[in-house]
Structure 1
């Protein structure tokens, strides 16, 4: 038995020593071990080594309760620029009366993450517990509601008697603390009794009394009651609202008159944006809005509206979003629609669909179309197999399509009376050709990527191979039988696939680029490879890409 215990101790010490040696950041936790009801907790660490490698420091904390939620995150800031002392504050409203477990998270310049305590996996996280106030413990406060389990469906009752010390207690100094909050104003205080009735809740509830006896600060014992009843999860939220504007007042006189010229319009402009995030347990909802006075249906969308919901292993976003399917397919382009992601450590599936650009039409003073765009719908997906912090393979695809019905034909065609003439004496008088401002297109891109992430060595390697098809004019529909006979290269394809049914995904006709993709001419392919590492406090990023002349990703 002694040998087994000694072996476990040696293994733990070895694990702690190894974690300490492999860590780039060495720091000391100087935060308090206990907190006081109703007071914020000031947390502090001192970095002894690797401060120049740090991008950000965060406190990750959560209450120690059954079915505890995910760790919350609070940023720490250096006491002064370049300081080795980092400080952060946990608000008392986030603690309540619960014991807290927490750890410190360091995000480094190479985007790797280190945690403190280094032996957290062995000995657990740091603890922050409710502590006594700086006052004398007084046994004259006696808890009357001493049932171990109380059904609180109709509300919680906290009753305390101080009969034996009533003559010495300053009634104006009495403070009632329940659930980590000062609830004195809601309590009923008589000559010798204190009664507080709270709202229905469930779980452990802590309460205590503070007061003054003959000018001396005293406190009661801290009582803990396990109660049953309705479960009410706390909701935390934060957000911001911002507004900016430019106000112009031109005061330019007309050269032909002494009056102020009406030819100069004072067109003011503004922009407003805001966000709000709310969390309840492991559920997070968030929204963003951005509004600009330059928004106009004649141009592409400027305003942004986003609403999202994040659950464990699932996320859905509606409105404006910029999905990053992959570098060669769909990357950081705004999509107004719906995006969802199912994810775990070993596999994830991401789907996005919506409008990438809206139909616009700009005319001159004679009502002649100058420019226009079709409404373009986009669909993208990504399937990742393998962990993100190891070796993974991704299969990606996107389809962009201009919707022909989104624009009237008169809005995209201009009659050119000279288009059918060659300018010579023998110019024939054929009907004028039609000059198109814009033509509807189809674009299909498929890719495969591989990625190897070695966090311990701070090395990331990856590569992606993609192929595309672009149809520059889909109005004519798919190939006719006569066109297929003339081209000939699609004989094997059309014997297996009905091009009419395939048109729901991609229109195959003579306007394709490339017209016939094959292995002899690979100009419809693109590929890239990259290598990133963090070495001697420097980030090295080496990448190479090759794009074929016929590769297109709208």
Structure 2
């Protein structure tokens, strides 16, 4: 019984193994555009099992295949053949594959694997005298890669007496350009809504004798369209964190300290308008201490600049230099004349501290820590000349404490003792600068006069 089953399985496997249809096809090497093409599919084994066959073909760039029936041969000439008309061969090349149906309805393709996606391919040869007669006028091949709105223009002046002018058309990405406009010696096409990437096009036409011809195939590269901001902006962000821990025998508990700061800088421009900003935030910032945080925003146009927020102007050594001013800075500048002004505060008002302690006898001891007045400043600097040769500057600076910015208890004790006083200072100064030998030698001097009042609680003049 087992032996019979083995013979039956062996017989079935043998039938399946040797009942396949074996096909062979030799791809033509030279095929001329416009001429009929005969394709032959040889059946080297299993011809008696075949029923019918089809050929599917398309020109390069076409999406769908066309189907055509194939002619079956004989037992002495086991093959299927088909002739594709010459008027169907009008592209750059041809893609095709075969499909055979056996008597049981099973299908076999050639090529065997993925024939639809990987068919046979033939490049078509265009007669040289005709393809060279089509001249590309636009776009310029040297600048085609930079085109965004191309205009395609092809001349056929040399062939105008031989062509059927009604048959001339542009094939763009495998499709006929219906909106192309023709004249006696030229065809023009403006693609609409063209996508970025590589595109190909050519001109096809018929001669007056009915033969089809075509031009060379040209490439058109459309660049990617990137989003462009109306402003040019750049900047950076920095975050720093510092943690320290001190553990010693003389400390009752660990001394831990955490510090951190955040900084954002950015700048940008739009044509002649330039702007910049800086934000700096620190964990050391305290309301009752001088400010540590910094922030500003500046705008610069031709011959004028303004900065609002924190800024450190550099007028001169005796007036104001390197001191942070929270306010508004302005600069009017030309080649040999500049005027700079600054208005704001260079010191923040902070409250003092009053500590009252009582001893065992009931007596009280009061300790005072003075506060600080808000100090406002206003400064003006005029400059004539330039730093490369000769520069003269004139400075006027006014620094004055706001005596109303601090409560009386923080600058005056209960006994009438003054802890701190508001001050006023007016500075007038001038400076010169001489530069020689490309600034290898620089000479300069500065002089200033100050009207200083150390206490304006009762007014500026007593």
- TM-score, normalising length from structure 1? 0.43
| Alignment correspondent of 1:176 | none
SS in 2 for 1:268: strand
Structure 2: gaps (5+ residues):
1-133, 141-146, 154-168, 176-188, 203-215, 223-227, 357-365
| Alignment correspondent of 1:435 | 417
| Alignment correspondent of 1:59 | none
Distance 1:465 1:248, change over 3 A: closer
Structure 1: gaps (5+ residues):
1-137, 145-155, 170-191, 199-207, 223-231, 256-260, 416-431, 478-506, 510-554
Distance 1:456 1:139, change over 3 A: farther
Q: 1:344 aligns with which of 329, 334, 337?
A: 334
| Alignment correspondent of 1:382 | 381
| Alignment correspondent of 1:240 | 236
Matched length: 268
| Alignment correspondent of 2:349 | 359
SS in 2 for 1:414: coil
Q: 1:444 aligns with which of 426, 440, 445?
A: 426
Contact 1:234–1:281 (Cα < 8 Å) also in 2: no
Distance 1:322 1:218, change over 3 A: farther
User: Is residue 313 of structure 1 aligned with residue 303 of structure 2?
Assistant: yes
Contact 2:231–2:268 (Cα < 8 Å) also in 1: yes
Contact 1:442–1:474 (Cα < 8 Å) also in 2: yes
What is the alpha-carbon distance in structure 2 between the residues aligned to residue 219 and residue 299 of structure 1? 70
Q: 2:149 aligns with which of 154, 158, 164?
A: 158
| Alignment correspondent of 2:449 | 467
Contact 2:199–2:221 (Cα < 8 Å) also in 1: no
CA shift for structure 1 position 194:
3.9
Contact 1:142–1:160 (Cα < 8 Å) also in 2: yes
What are the superposed Cα offsets for residues 301-354 of structure 1, whole Å, 9 maximum, x if unpaired? 100011000011000000000011111110010000001010101111100010
CA shift for structure 1 position 212:
7.3
Contact 2:380–2:395 (Cα < 8 Å) also in 1: yes
Q: In the TM superposition, what are the counterparts of 1:104-503 in structure 2 within 5 Å?
A: 140=136, 142=138, 158-161=149-152, 164=170, 166=172, 194-196=191-193, 234-247=230-243, 264=254, 266-363=256-353, 366=356, 368-415=367-414, 432=415, 434-454=416-436, 456=438, 458-477=440-459
Contact 1:157–1:196 (Cα < 8 Å) also in 2: no
What is the alpha-carbon distance in structure 2 between the residues aligned to residue 271 and residue 338 of structure 1? 25
CA shift for structure 1 position 465:
0.9
Distance 1:253 1:389, change over 3 A: closer
CA shift for structure 1 position 435:
2.4
What is the alpha-carbon distance in structure 1 between the residues aligned to residue 441 and residue 412 of structure 2? 54
CA shift for structure 1 position 143:
5.5
Distance 1:312 1:439, change over 3 A: same
- TM-score, normalising length from structure 2? 0.50
CA shift for structure 1 position 265:
6.8
SS in 1 for 2:430: strand
Distance 1:361 1:167, change over 3 A: closer
What is the alpha-carbon distance in structure 1 between the residues aligned to residue 354 and residue 194 of structure 2? 72
SS in 2 for 1:405: helix
CA shift for structure 1 position 167:
7.0
What is the alpha-carbon distance in structure 1 between the residues aligned to residue 325 and residue 381 of structure 2? 16
What is the alpha-carbon distance in structure 1 between the residues aligned to residue 303 and residue 269 of structure 2? 16
Q: In the TM superposition, what are the counterparts of 1:529-548 in structure 2 within 5 Å?
A: none
What is the alpha-carbon distance in structure 2 between the residues aligned to residue 442 and residue 453 of structure 1? 36
What is the alpha-carbon distance in structure 1 between the residues aligned to residue 135 and residue 371 of structure 2? 82
SS in 1 for 2:409: helix
Distance 1:140 1:265, change over 3 A: farther
SS in 1 for 2:438: helix
| Alignment correspondent of 1:508 | 461
What is the alpha-carbon distance in structure 2 between the residues aligned to residue 391 and residue 236 of structure 1? 36
CA shift for structure 1 position 264:
4.7
What is the alpha-carbon distance in structure 2 between the residues aligned to residue 344 and residue 219 of structure 1? 53
User: Larger Rg: 1 or 2?
Assistant: 2
Deviates more, 1:335-344 or 1:453-462: 453-462
CA shift for structure 1 position 211:
5.3
| Alignment correspondent of 2:362 | none
CA shift for structure 1 position 252:
8.8
Contact 2:198–2:221 (Cα < 8 Å) also in 1: no
Distance 1:209 1:193, change over 3 A: farther
What are the superposed Cα offsets for residues 30-83 of structure 1, whole Å, 9 maximum, x if unpaired? xxxxxxxxxxxxxxxxxxxxxxxxxxxxxxxxxxxxxxxxxxxxxxxxxxxxxx
Contact 1:168–1:213 (Cα < 8 Å) also in 2: yes
